[in-house]
Chains A and B, each alone.
Chain A
Amino acid sequence: MPDLQASYGELAAARGLERLPGFDPGPLTPLLSEANGASLQPALRGRLGDGVDGVVGHLAYKRNKTFRFNVALTEVPVATAFAPRVFCVRRGRVTRDDEFYGFGARHSKLWTESTVLNERYAVTTSPYQDPIWLRRLFSPGFIDWLRTAEPADFSFELAYGAVLGSVEEDDPGADGLAALCDATAHVATRIREECEE
């Protein structure tokens, strides 16, 4: 995909990111687990946003069809002790649900306290996630930002300290990739702030 390579090249030049031959993140989050070992290609490493380092790359994997995402990955390890899993996924995005056979394992719980947030995202957590911490994380300011955040198809997953921002667009261009990096850095910063409170 030459256009995609050009978009990543433009982003690398604009932000001083290091080109990687490929990056294998491992099954850190549900989306990366769905990709079943696919590596990020192209991939860039460096500063995603203010004080947030990570990797941004293109994720493509095949199931019954080829799925393509552009993702930005960073870490907030301290978050695990507060919230092992928080997934804020754009409504309408197709993901595998966690029901199987006749008895569904309750691996996640829908968080529906914010109507505004739930118009755009499906927010799921561990079934016994501390609701007070979650309410503090999703402060009115953060909800307002998420409600209007660019890129429009942005979603994020926090799983055991790994923060993965993602967009569904095949080639969002250098500006779209920059917006993905900024949004992911913003989310990671917000999570870190709340952990440090």
Chain B
Amino acid sequence: MQLNRVGIGLIAFFGLAGAAFAVAPILIGVPGEVAGILAMVGVIWVLVAAGLAWYARRQKRKAAHQDWIFQQGIRGTATVLYAGSHSTVNEMPLMSLRLDLEVPGAGTREVERREIMPVFAASRMEPGLTLPAYVNPEDPDDFILVW
């Protein structure tokens, strides 16, 4: 996942509007109780913005790490043993996959992975399907699945 324009807008909106709610009533001399309520709303909004920014940063790091595995990792294959979904995220199935991960020189091991996939991809995740995979040479549990 990566932050898109809507995400940047959300962070900016909650951050700036929250800060304005928190500070402006005090600066313009709004009565104490109302200023307190607005300040509380403002602080909550700023916390929401901070949470979103933290999540975006974490996703960016994860993407950078995956890019590194793609560049430096060992190419192998992942064969689907089981695929199922019990929930969706924005109309896309959250797939639970059990895979046979085969890496040249490191043998085969069973691993699990969860991925949010569009319907057309999710519907093709059936036992026996073999996909490319890239494995961290220092940690065989760390891999990216090319689906």
Contact = CB atoms under 8 A, between A and B. Distances in A.
Interface in A5-60: 26-30, 32-33
Interface stretch (B4-12, B22-30, B31-39): B4-12
Contacts, number: 88
A27 B9 CA distance: 33
Interface stretch (A61-69, A97-105, A168-176, A189-197): A97-105
Report the contact-size class of chain A (Cβ under 8 Å from the partner): 20 to 34
A86 to B, nearest CB: 12
Contacts of A159: 120-121, 124
A159 B124 CA distance: 9
A114 interface: no
For the complex, would chain B's binding face be called helix, strand, loop or mixed by DSSP majority?
mixed
A118 interface: no
B92 interface: yes
Given A29-B120, A84-B121, A102-B7, 12 more contacts: A27-B119, A33-B120, A84-B132, A84-B146, A85-B147, A99-B6, A102-B4, A102-B10, A102-B11, A106-B63, A128-B146, A130-B132
B129 A99 contact: no
Given A84-B132, A128-B146, A106 B1 contact: yes
B136 interface: no
Interface of A: 26-30, 32-33, 80-82, 84-85, 98-107, 126-130, 159-160
Given A103-B3, A104-B1, A105-B116, A160 B129 contact: yes
A123 B63 CA distance: 21
A100 B131 contact: no
Contacts of B45: none
List the 8 shortest-distance A-B pairs measured between CB atoms, nearest first. A102-B7, A33-B120, A104-B4, A160-B124, A100-B90, A102-B10, A128-B146, A103-B1
26 contacts: A26-B123, A81-B130, A82-B132, A84-B147, A85-B121, A85-B147, A99-B4, A101-B90, A102-B4, A102-B6, A102-B7, A102-B9, A102-B52, A103-B1, A103-B7, A104-B2, A104-B3, A104-B4, A107-B117, A126-B147, A127-B146, A128-B70, A128-B132, A128-B146, A130-B146, A160-B121
A33 B118 contact: yes
Contacts of A100: 90
